[in-house]
Amino acid sequence: MKYVGVDYGLARTGLAVSDPEGRLVFPLLTLRLEEHANRKDFLAALAARIAAEGAGAVVMGLPVLDDGTDSLTTRQVRNITGRLKRRLNLPFFYMPELLSSEEAWADLREAGLKARKRKAILDQQAAVRILASFLALPPAQRRAA
């Protein structure tokens, strides 16, 4: 099954996609809120892109605090997930994430990318980490949204 991974952020949202077998993960794109008239248009663009990929399921990165509790951003991700679920008839999953952006930054630095290029694709790489972590889990440990 093909999956789309989402690293949702208030300004930028990174997307990653798996191969049809759900084994390999690739960066897809970054959607920027500023490129849309409002949040409703942004949400429509996000849903359209997920649908265009032919995904069988969506994995949302769920930012949790160090102690595992919810933050304001966690609640925002849950809210946006609910809104996406009303637009897309797909299964949604949460993948708890902690420091995914920092780890993605390190991945890109190790790959030799300059800071400007790293910043441009950071959210996509964070989505790659989220989706790859999810796919590495045994199916019984995957958390449905």
pTM for the model stands at 0.86
pLDDT-based confidence at residue 64 (cuts at 50, 70, 90): confident
* Listed residue (116, 128, 95) closest to 17, CA to CA: 128
Domains of the chain: 3-144 (3.30.420.140)
Please tell me the predicted confidence (pLDDT) of residue 143. 85
Task: Read off the pLDDT of residues 96-145 as tens digits, 9 standing for 90 and up.
Answer: 886 556 665 566 556 555 555 555 566 888 899 999 999 999 999 998 98
CA distance 145 to 136: 18
At 78, the amino acid letter reads: R
